[in-house]
Amino acid sequence: PELEQMILSMMQKQNNINKSEESKQPHTKKSKLTSTGKPKAQAAEPIRSLEDSKKIQDYFYNKQSDRDMMMFSVGISVGLRISDLLSLRFSDVMYDDYTFKPYIDIVEQKTDKVTHTALDDCLITKSVIDAIELYMCSLEHKPNMDDYLFPSQKGGHLDTRSAHKILKKMSRDLGLDKKYNIGTHSLRKTFGYWTIKLNPNDNNALIGLQAMYHHSSERTTLGYTGITKDETRAFRNKLSDFYESVI
């Protein structure tokens, strides 16, 4: 498959680069601690199992945390940066008559780029609509269009730090912290991971993600979504199986 060949080629190029850099520099072991002595933060990972995604949705549903379930469901469905996701208002996803727009059209806070382009329409899919409608059913009154989609009890919208705590607690409660390092970036990464997994031989899926993430290379996108890590594990397992069969 073209995608597998591309990953192999990228891995080989990176190995060559790493070897070249190692030959020029003395070997030093990287510290796992920050300058203040605290453990360095580990990169958030995508949810690699659809069963685990369902467990997370059920967890929030059973806790009657409709806002948090909506945050997770919408987050893995649209792939926005967490800061852009949490700052959404109802007017960003629906019209004044409460019918849904075809896509979310916002300016990303980090890049000041409008997300609606030919390559990266932020579509409002059925999974997004279902999550929002379920949340709206839990409200006493219909929301105003200026209301935040993810309100905070303190006023304004839920902030990134609070969202991170919500996801970390969920991860611990479900025992998923032993399987993944779940954080706010996991939502955006899960969107990308499954986009590629469901379109394994479609390079346009990878190109579209690269454009949406504003990455400079396809290799960066593959690494960010966790695909490179998955493929590396698969290649190593294949090699191990080969050794066992001949040695």
Which residues belong to the active site?
Answer: 81, 110, 185, 188, 215, 224
Burial zone of 22 (CB within 10 Å; 0-12 exposed, 13-18 middle, 19+ buried)? exposed
Reference 150, options 72, 53, 97; nearest CA is 72
Q: What residue type is 167 in one-letter code?
A: L
Q: How many CB atoms lie within 10 A of CB 162?
A: 16
What is the rounded distance in angstroms from the CA atom of residue 247 to the CA atom of residue 156? Answer: 63
Q: Are 93 and 84 in contact (CB under 8 A)?
A: no
SS3 content of the chain, % helix, strand, coil (to 5): 55, 5, 40
- Give the distance, in angstroms, between the CA of residue 150 and the centroid of all CA atoms in the same chain: 18
Measuring CA to CA, how many Å separate 152 from each of 29, 128, 158, 163? 43, 20, 5, 10
Question: How many residues in the chain?
Answer: 247
